[in-house]
């Protein structure tokens, strides 16, 4: 948590990828969960080391790790999830010794599993259990009497049976007519697992099942072709089959929840089963008749608010004062600097559409209720929550103004205390206001997410936006 007095210099530097303006109004009671997932090398054990699903469910064993850290669990290369309460699979290495947590990579095996070989001096060797190299088995009389056939590797009385074919790792070999040893024949198979010894002392290469290292989707399952091209390794299970993106080697984040609705102007839309977009449900008579909380268009839509008094929209330069909102469920108080002219203040808690309280909130405008409903008067919305999802992208989607405003630039937001994203919207409401939505995490702990929305309708509101951005703090 960040603790700081507003009497001190507040957050002197704010950096954006480009110039942007201020933030929003309506639909501010919506909520939601990015996906920012930096990979930081290094390994951390669980505390305690491992938990069964039953123990986690019962609360008798808690997994704790640093989000984004990597580790090796035997031959499984894993990464701590964003919540810091579990490990996800990155890759399955050929052995534990080939798992490199620091670089977050699986080293390639030096030899195939159960691969045998004979040295020039007749020493019979086999690939060690870690597949990092070969180890000595025994010394044959000479190389001619050393057989490296997997399953029948031995020092022989005679080197081999004339004309017999065998697999030596991925390479097919044939016994010489004088039975003194083997010679290479044919091309090398794609892997040792694809070299097959059949009946009648013959050997052949079988076709690869897939291309090593290539990712594919099998329904909701994201898989990677094994190094021996003979199997698929499960990497992740996506929310839906459509969210499995093999080309990017990841599961895409859902754009919405099944059944979730929104209004695009006068069109009522609903999240599709794939959770990768919205499908139209009904075209309403007007935007006012479209209510995302209703299953169909409203037959008696609310009246349109009249244009605000011009003196509300513009006038003398603002004067500013420090304001605060009390703590809620352990988070807060919140503080910021706002125009004294925005005298209608709402300090009620941040409550989800389902009625759950998730944190403190502060709203200030000339008419707080109208500001929360429309985009035609200036004002500010400031909320903070430590309730999951503590993610920038997920929370940003909850304040999507599509259908009410025109989407502008989405840029990086950064100041002394917070880092996140600012989305600019234009042509909002009957006054064509500009709204900016900042969603950011605290830099040090990232234990809660903040949402700061400012709507501007006149030049003097630019100064209000600067004062708010320079001063907002949640403890």
Contact 439, 308 (CB under 8 A): no
* One domain for residues 136 and 61: no
- Whether residue 446 is predicted with pLDDT greater than 70 in this model: the reply is yes
Last residue of a domain, one of 205, 226, 260: 205
Record the tokens describing residue 381, joined without a space.
């919305």
Going from the C-alpha of 224 to that of each of 89, 221, 227, 280, 291, the distances in angstroms are 12, 10, 9, 36, 44
The pLDDT of residue 473 is above 90: yes
- Dihedral angle over CA of 127, 130, 131, 135, nearest 10: -30
Range of the domain at 61: 53-106
pLDDT of 294 higher than 90: no
pLDDT at 37 over 60: no
Residue 293: pLDDT band (50, 70, 90) is confident
| 327 and 357 both lie in a single domain | yes
For the chain, what is the domain count? 4
5-26 pLDDT, tens digit per residue, is 433 444 644 544 433 333 333 3
What token pair was written down for 189?
A: 């198979």
The pLDDT of residue 351 is 87
In this prediction, residue 91 carries a pLDDT of 93
Q: Are residues 469 and 394 in the same domain?
A: yes
For residues 140 and 167, membership in a common domain is answered with yes
What pLDDT sits at residue 14?
A: 53
pLDDT of res. 176: 87
**One domain, residues 157 and 232:** no
Spatial contact of 378 and 455, defined as CB atoms under 8 Å apart: yes
Same-domain check for residues 324 and 469: yes
* Whether 435 and 408 share a structural domain: yes
96-144 pLDDT per residue, tens: 999 999 999 999 999 988 889 999 988 999 999 999 999 999 998 888 7
312 contacts: CB under 8 Å, gap ≥ 6? 366, 377
pTM of the model: 0.44
Average pLDDT over the chain, rounded to whole?
A: 83
Q: Taking the CB of residue 454, how many other CB atoms lie within 10 A of it?
A: 28
Cα 11 to Cα 4: distance, rounded to the nearest angstrom: 10
Q: Give pLDDT tens digits for 170-194.
A: 999 999 887 777 899 988 998 998 9
Q: For position 24, what pLDDT does the model report?
A: 34
Residue 397, pLDDT score: 86
Q: How far is CA 59 from CA 41, 49, 53, 55, 157, in A?
A: 29, 15, 10, 6, 64
φ/ψ of residue 427, rounded to 5: 55, 40
Q: Please state, for a pLDDT cut of 90, what percent of the chain lies above it.
A: 52
């Amino acid at each position: 948590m960040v603790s700081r007095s507003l009497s001190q210099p507040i957050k002197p530097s704010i950096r954006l990828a480009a110039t942007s303006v201020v933030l929003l109004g309506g639909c501010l009671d919506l909520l939601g969960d990015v996906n920012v997932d930096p990979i930081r090398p290094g390994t951390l054990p669980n505390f305690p080391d491992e938990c069964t699903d039953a123990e986690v469910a019962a609360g008798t064993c808690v997994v704790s790790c640093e989000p984004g850290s990597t580790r090796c669990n035997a031959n499984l290369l894993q990464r701590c999830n964003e919540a810091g309460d579990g490990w996800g699979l990155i890759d399955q290495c050929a052995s534990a010794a080939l798992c490199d947590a620091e670089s977050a990579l699986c080293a390639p095996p030096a030899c195939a599993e159960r691969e045998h070989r004979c040295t020039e001096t007749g020493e019979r060797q086999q690939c060690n259990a870690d597949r990092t190299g070969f180890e000595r088995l025994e010394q044959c009389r000479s190389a001619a009497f050393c057989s490296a056939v997997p399953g029948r590797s031995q020092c022989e009385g005679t080197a081999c049976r004339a004309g017999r074919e065998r697999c030596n790792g991925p390479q097919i070999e044939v016994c010489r007519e004088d039975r003194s040893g083997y010679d290479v024949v044919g091309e090398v198979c794609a892997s040792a697992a694809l070299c097959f010894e059949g009946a009648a002392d013959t050997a052949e290469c079988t076709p690869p099942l897939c291309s090593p290292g290539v990712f594919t989707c099998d329904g909701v399952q994201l898989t990677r072709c094994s190094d021996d091209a003979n199997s698929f390794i499960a990497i992740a299970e996506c929310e839906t089959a459509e969210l499995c993106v093999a080309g990017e080697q990841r599961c895409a984040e859902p754009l919405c929840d099944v059944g979730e609705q929104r209004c695009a102007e006068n069109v009522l839309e609903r999240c599709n089963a794939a959770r990768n977009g919205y499908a139209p449900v009904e075209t309403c008579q007007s935007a006012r008749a479209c209510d995302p909380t209703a299953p169909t268009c409203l037959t008696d839509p609310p009246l349109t608010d009249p244009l605000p008094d011009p003196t509300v929209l513009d006038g003398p330069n603002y004067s500013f004062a420090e304001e605060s909102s009390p703590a809620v469920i352990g988070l807060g108080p919140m503080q910021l600097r706002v125009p004294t002219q925005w005298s209608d203040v709402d300090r009620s808690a941040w409550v989800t559409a389902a009625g759950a309280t998730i944190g403190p909130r502060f709203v200030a405008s000339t008419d707080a209720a109208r500001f929360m409903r429309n985009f035609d008067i200036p004002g500010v919305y400031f909320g903070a929550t430590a309730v999951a999802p503590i993610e920038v992208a997920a929370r940003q989607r909850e304040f999507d103004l599509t259908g009410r405003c025109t989407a502008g630039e989405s840029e990086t937001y950064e100041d002394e205390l917070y880092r996140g994203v600012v989305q600019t919207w234009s042509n909002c409401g009957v006054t064509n206001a500009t709204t900016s939505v900042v969603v950011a995490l605290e830099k040090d702990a990232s234990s809660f997410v903040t949402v700061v929305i400012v709507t501007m309708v006149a030049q003097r509101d630019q100064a209000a936006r600067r004062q708010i951005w320079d001063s907002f703090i949640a403890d």
